[in-house]
Each structure stands twice: as C-alpha cells, then as structure tokens.
Structure 1
Amino acid sequence: MAVAATVLAAGGLAWRRSHPVRSFAAMLSGCLVVSLTDHYIGLLSLLFLVSLYSLAAHGRRRDGLIGLGAGITSFVSLALLDVPDLGTSVLLQSLALLVAAWALGDAIRSRREQQRVQERELVESAVAEERLRVARELHDVVAHSMSLIAVQAGVGAHVIHSDVTAAEQALEIIAETSRRALEQTRSMLGMLRENSGDGTRPPTQGLGDLPSLVDDLRAAGLLVQLTVPSVLPDLGAAGSLAAYRIVQESLTNVIKHSTATAATVTLRDSSVGLAIEVIDPGPGRSNPGPGSGHGLLGLAERVRLLDGTLDAGVHGTGFRVYAVLTLGSAR
C-alpha cells in the first residue's frame, strides 16, 4: 500500500501544470497513506513542496490557499499522532517550507496574471490606434474627394445651360476625383486585409504627389501657389504621408469653409525637419481650433505621433495651418 501510494503521489506531478488541484490531491493523499502506515515518507516530503508550489503557481489563488491550509493541517495532525521523525523543530521547519513554497508559487502566479493584463492592454491600445489611423485616412480621402465633387457639381449645375464646355469639364473632374477616391479606398482596404503585418507597404501618397494635388484643386477653381525647397528633407514614409495629408486637409477646408479663390502652400526647411504653412486668405470662416473638427483633429494626431507641432487658427481675415515635422532619423 505504501509503495502504491508513493507511485501515485509522485506520478501525479505529471499533471501539476494542467491539473494542479488533482495533482496536489494525489500528492497529499499519497503522503498521508505512507505516513499513517508507519513508513518513512522520504523524497515525497520534497515533492510535496513542488506540488504545493505548482498548485499556487498554476491554479487559482483560492486553490493555493486551500492547499496550504490542508498541508499545514496534515503536518500538525501527524505531529499530534506522534509520527516518527516529526518533532517540534521538524514540524516548524516543515511549516516554514510549506509557506515558502506557497508564497513563491503565488508570486509567480501574480506576476503571470499581471503580464497577461499588460499584454491585453497593449493589444487593446494597438487596436484603438489602428482604428484611429484608419479613421484618419478615410476622413482625409473621403472629405477631400467629396468636397471637390460637391463644388464641381454645383458649378456644373449652374452653367449646364449657359456653358456646356464648363459643365463637361466639371463632370470630368467629378469622374476623375471619384476614380482616385475609389483607388485610394481600395488601397487602404487592401492594407487592412494584408496578413504579413510587416508594415513595409509604402503609403499611397507623399510629398512627391503634392503637385498633382495642387493641379486638381486648380482645376476645381482654387488658385493654389505652391512653394517647395529644391531638396526635400527625408521625413520617412510616415512623415511624407503626414505632410501630404496636412496640405490636402488644409486646402480642402479652404474649399469647404472659405470664400477665398486662392491659397498659398509653403514648404521650407526648419531646424528639425520640414515646416509646412497653408494660408487661407479668407474671409468666411471663424476659428474652429485644432480639435473641433475631425479633419484638424486627425492632423493634430498625425503630427503628435511624429513628434511634431501643429498650430491652426485665425490669420487676418482668413485661416492659417502651420506644422513642423521632424526628420525620420530624429524621430
């Protein structure tokens, strides 16, 4: 019986991670059988500590406390029954070892739970940030395209009977703007569906696309003066896309909120990277502040993520957006 109990108790350690409660119950039962049949417990005394540690580390805290209580009760009961080699000093040492094994296992379990909570928070934060990023991209694409389409639709409806050529030109701009918006939307959806997750896919727009953006707005009736340095600084892929979106959103707001027929876009080198200034001469818009609309709010988020600065507010009778983006290496 003692041999069978020893084998059962020691064999139960095989389940100490997957089924810690059953493993500890088998260990405790085997140790009691061996001790109560007047046999020397031997190596089981050390394995009992391993089993209690595993119960505290891999089970619930309540299970660990119950196991500690059961172990202490068992040792005290055996000492009261005058089991050999379990005097007062040995009993106190055994109880101290039991508490130490439980404390170590409980600390490991608490640390593991804390790590799981931190990992879950990191995942939730990453998901929230990705949602914001997608929302910014969709807003920039849709708001800009719909603004141009709305303006050209109004122009076309106004001149369709008096100037057929102008109406046809407005329809052509609407068609081209719609096509580009669909392409950009498909591109973003493709990025979302990618499984590689390596983040190496280049952005759909960048500083090199600013002339094309300005041409589209000029065709829509907004006279844009673009000034860029001869050599553009290296902002990296994210910085280049952010610079494009800043100019795009600022000029889109001119069309949506201002009566101005012209705007100026100036890019110049700064001490830390690239300075971007978009001026709407107005009039026709009050100061919304950098956080009142989704567009300017999205720009503020973009710039903040790139360690840059953004200032948007009333400028004379119009509006001014001024941003500074840092170099990719500096970030």
Structure 2
Amino acid sequence: MRGQVGPAPGRQSWWIVASQRLSPYLDPVLGIVAAAAALASLLSTDPASIDPRLESPDVLAAVATVVAAGGLAWRRSRPVASYAVMVIGGMVVSLSGHYIGLLSVLMLFSLYSLAAHGRRRDGLVGLAVGVACFAGLALLDVPDLGTSDLLLAVALLVAAWAVGDAIRSRRRQQQDQLLAAVTEERLRIARELHDVVAHSMSLIAVQAGVGAHLIRTDADAAEHSLEVIAETSRQALEQTRSMLGMLRAENEDGVRPPTRGLDDVSALVEDIRAAGLDVTLERSGTAPGLDTAISLTAYRIVQESLTNVIKHSAARIATVTVAVSGTTVELEVTDPGPRRPGSSTAGHGLLGLDERVRLVGGRASYGAHGEGFRVQATLPVGVRR
C-alpha cells in the first residue's frame, strides 16, 4: 500500500489560514478599538445625568481610561498584566470621582481573558481582586455605585470568571486528549519499528551465516544469500525511514508508513521462503471490510511467529493457517522443531504479540507443540467504517 500523506496546505480552509495570519494582530486592534470606545463613552456622557456628584472629564480621567482599555491589547499574551492595568485604571477613574463608563464592561471581558488564558490560580485571584475593588468603592460611597449596582457587579464578575474558566478547562482537556493521541501513535510506531527491525535483522543474520558457510563451496547459494540480505535491508530501510518521519516535530510534514495487513501475508511468506524456510500458507475465507488495526495485527502475528522460527528453531519448514469467518480471524503458525540448542521462547517479541492481541480485543496462546512450537490467535472481525 502507498503511504498516506496529510492534506496539502492549499486545501486548508481559507478561514483557518486567515485566522492564523491575523491572530497576532487581533488583540492589539482590540486594545485600540476598546480605548477609543471607552474614551468616547467618557467624553460623550453628561456625568450630571448619571450622578450629580460625578466630576466632569479631565486629563487624568481620560488618560486612565485609555490606558486601562488599551491593556486589552495583551489580554492573551500577558493576561495578568492586562487585567492589572484594567483594574488600576478603573480604580483611578472611580476614586477621582469620574464616570467609569465602558470600563466596567471591559473589566468583565478582561477578567474572562485572565481566566481563559492564564492559570486557574490567577483567575481566582483576579476574581477576588475585582470583587474587593467594587466592595471597597461601595464602602467609600463613590458616585454611581449603589448597593444594587454592587450586587450586579459581583454577579457579573463571577459569571465572567466562570465562562473563562470553563473555556480554559475545555482547552486543557483537548490538549490532554491530543497529547494522549500523539503518545499512543508514537507507541504504535515504536511497536511497528520493533517488528520491522527484529524481522529484518533475523533474516539478515541467518542469510549472513549461510553465505559465510557456503561462500567457498557453493558460490551460487552464497550469492543468493547476499541478494536476500540486500533486498531485506532495502525494505527495512524504507519502512524505518518512513516510520521515523512520523516521529519528527509536529510542525513538519511526515509520511505515514505503509500499513501492512492480511493481503501482505503472501508476500511475507515469499520473503521467508527466500531466506531458506519452506513455509506452507493455508488460507480460507475473506473479509473485504476488515478493520485496518485487525488486519495489521494479524500480519504482525504471522511475521513475529515466522521470525521466531528462524531465530529459535532448527526446523526447515513451517505452516501458516489463516481462516477468516464472519466473526473472527483465526491464525496458527507451527513448526515441527526441534528447537536450537540454548534458544529461549522468552523475549519482547511474544510480549508484544500479547499486547497487540489484547489491544484489539482478541486472545492468543503459544507454547510447545511436540518438538516444535505453535502460536495461535483469535481476532474479532471489526468492519471498517
């Protein structure tokens, strides 16, 4: 199968591309617009119509209003500093007896930004500071802040913090899910890499030994061994290079390694035969919609089992049986033995085989079969959607 590549950049939505390009400029523009709107609200409102005690706008009130609202330009990059500037500016305007105007609404947005883009502790502290400021202003009896205004302000501050905190939590959850998915994908690639290297190196080691033994007595057989080594090395390098490409940094384009499956078992058997092991393949049944994970697991079971025959058995023959029904995929790999002196069935290969089978909801068993060895596995048929 061909490697799968990710979607080309040209196919991305124009809205996504535009958002990515404009994102660095959105908050500065927001800060400028907010400062202009807050200043316009201050200068265009008759303070006497709001509360006779309010002072007419002056330079101090105008500067404090512009600075406070302009702090929204850093609401995502520096949410703590942005909120601090907003609170201080609003306090200066209120304590000097001027109309706070639009700053009261912008303060809610600033608190939301702090809760959404800062740490949770920062959001809680920001909420407490906001409530304390309004309570303090009410105690000082500043103009345009009665008891009902105080209660409304506290309720709105809590609501702004709650919305921002919920968005922050949701974003964190999505990041955790993404990290888990990336970790699982890399573990999957690591398992694939182990299978490829173990299988290839086993074939190469066997053929190298055969070639060294026959090079003086049977040049043609030794040449065949070298050809098998060369072809096995080439295939292993191609698969390894493709897999390692998937492990590069996230911002680099990678090519997904070709996915193996039951359809590739015949080619696998031919490779094993070329290495000198006479393998009989018996197949029955078909499953055109077989799930990719099930198909890959079946292929790796056969590959690992035949690799173990080459590494640990003195047998010259092996039998692979694949039976596909409507509900299961039955696999069996046997060799008549005997085992090589000093060889052991324990190792990471069989442990990895167990893990693969469990991950797809199947079951496996393996052990001595007369003088030889047998691996059996039953996998559920998962229909690809």
TM range (shorter): 0.7 to 0.9
The structure-2 alpha-carbon separation of the partners of 1:302 and 1:238, relative to structure 1 and needing over 3 Å to count, comes to: same
- The equivalent of 2:181 in structure 1 is 126
Letter in 1 for 2:235: E
TM-score (norm 1): 0.76
Q: Partner amino acid for 1:254? A: V
1:283–1:46 distance in 2 versus 1, CA, 3 Å: same
Residue in 2 that maps onto 1:175: 227
Q: Pick closer, same or farther for the CA change 1:135–1:218 going to 2, 3 Å.
A: same
SS at match of 2:142: coil
CA distance in 1, matches of 2:373, 2:328: 23
Structure 1: unaligned runs, 5 residues or longer: none
Q: TM-score, normalised by structure 2?
A: 0.67
For 1:122-147, what per-residue CA distance to the aligned partner results, in whole angstroms no more than 9, with x for missing partners? 34433433333333333333322332
- Specify the SS of the correspondent of 1:214: helix
In structure 1, the residue matched to 2:322 is 267
Q: How does 1:309-328 map to 2 (within 5 A)?
A: 309-328=363-382
Per-residue CA distance 1:23-58 (angstroms, 9 max, x = gap): 444544454444444445455444444444444444
Q: Counterpart amino acid of 2:318? A: A
Change (3 A) 1:116 1:317: farther
Please list every run of 5 or more consecutive structure 2 residues that lacks an aligned counterpart in the other structure: 1-55, 247-251
Alignment match of 2:362 (pick from 290, 308, 331): 308
Which aligned pairs between 1:52-91 and structure 2 lie closer than 5 A?
A: 52-84=111-143, 86-87=145-146, 89-90=147-148
- CA deviation digits over 1:88-131, x for unaligned, max 9? x33xx51x444434433443444344344434433443343333
The within-5 A match list for 1:187-202 is 187-190=239-242, 192-193=244-245, 202=258
Q: In the alignment, is the contact (CA less than 8 A) between 1:10 and 1:44 conserved in 2?
A: no
Cα deviation, residue 296, structure 1: 2.1
Query: Does the Cα contact within 8 Å between 1:277 and 1:320 map onto a contact in 2?
Result: yes
Aligned ranges 1:121-270 → 2 under 5 Å:
121-161=176-216, 164-165=217-218, 167-190=219-242, 192-193=244-245, 202-203=258-259, 205-229=260-284, 231-234=285-288, 235-270=290-325
CA distance in 2 between partners of 1:43 and 1:210 (Å): 71
Does the CA contact (< 8 Å) of 1:2 and 1:33 recur in 2?
no
For residue 329 of structure 1, give the secondary structure of its aligned residue in structure 2: coil
CA positional deviation for 1:321: 1.0
Residue 122 of structure 1 aligns to which amino acid in structure 2?
Q
Distance 1:174 1:304, change over 3 A: farther
Contact 1:225-1:263 within 8 A present in 2 as well: yes
CA RMSD of aligned residues (A): 3.7
Judging changes above 3 Å, is the alpha-carbon distance between structure 1 residues 312 and 42 closer, same or farther for their aligned structure 2 residues?
same
Asked if 1 retains the 8 angstrom alpha-carbon contact of 2:214 and 2:221, the reply is: no
Taking the aligned partners of 1:60 and 1:125, their CA distance within structure 2 comes to 22
CA, structure 1 residues 102+293, in 2 after alignment: closer, same or farther (shift >3 Å)?
farther
Judge conservation of contact 2:331–2:378 (CA < 8 Å) in 1. yes
Measured in 1, the distance between the counterparts of 2:295 and 2:120 equals: 52
Identical columns (%) = 52
